[in-house]
Chains A and B, each alone.
Chain A
Amino acid sequence: MRERKVALYGLLTALAFVLSYIEAQIPVLFAVPGMKLGLTNLVILFSLYRMSSRDALLLNVVRMILVAATFGNLFSLAYSLAGGILSWLAMILLKRSKKFSMVGVSVAGGVAHNVGQILVAIFVLETGKLIYYLPVLLVSGLAAGVVVGILGGELVKRIHT
Chain B
Amino acid sequence: MKKGDWLLIGGVLLLAGAALIWMQLTKAGGSQVVIRIDGRVTETYDLAEDRTVILEGVGGRHNTLVIQNGKALFAEADCPDLLCVHQGEVSYDGQTIVCLPNRVVAEIQGGEASSVDEVAR
Contacts and interface: CB of A to CB of B under 8 A. Distances in A.
Interface in A127-160: 127, 129-130, 132-135, 138-139, 141-142, 146
A100 B16 contact: no
A5 to B, nearest CB: 30
Nearest to A139: B16
Contacts of B36: 125-127
A127 B39 CA distance: 8
A92 interface: no
Interface in B1-43: 1-5, 8-9, 12-13, 15-17, 19-20, 23, 36, 39
Contacts of B9: 104, 107, 142, 146
B64 interface: no
Contacts of B105: 125, 127
Contacts of A100: 2, 4-5, 8
A104 B4 CA distance: 7
Contact of A134 (B2, B5, B16): B16
B63 interface: no
Assign chain A's interface to a size class: 20 to 34
Contacts of A130: 96, 98
Contacts of A139: 12-13, 16
B100 to A, nearest CB: 5
A129 B23 contact: no
B16 A132 contact: no
Interface residues of B, number: 28
Interface of B: 1-5, 8-9, 12-13, 15-17, 19-20, 23, 36, 39, 83, 86-87, 94-96, 98, 100, 103, 105, 107
Given A135-B19, A141-B12, 20 more contacts: A32-B87, A33-B98, A33-B100, A75-B103, A94-B4, A94-B8, A101-B5, A104-B1, A104-B4, A104-B8, A104-B9, A107-B9, A129-B94, A129-B95, A129-B107, A130-B96, A132-B96, A135-B23, A138-B16, A139-B16
Interface of A: 28-33, 75, 79, 94, 97, 99-101, 103-104, 107-108, 111, 121, 124-127, 129-130, 132-135, 138-139, 141-142, 146
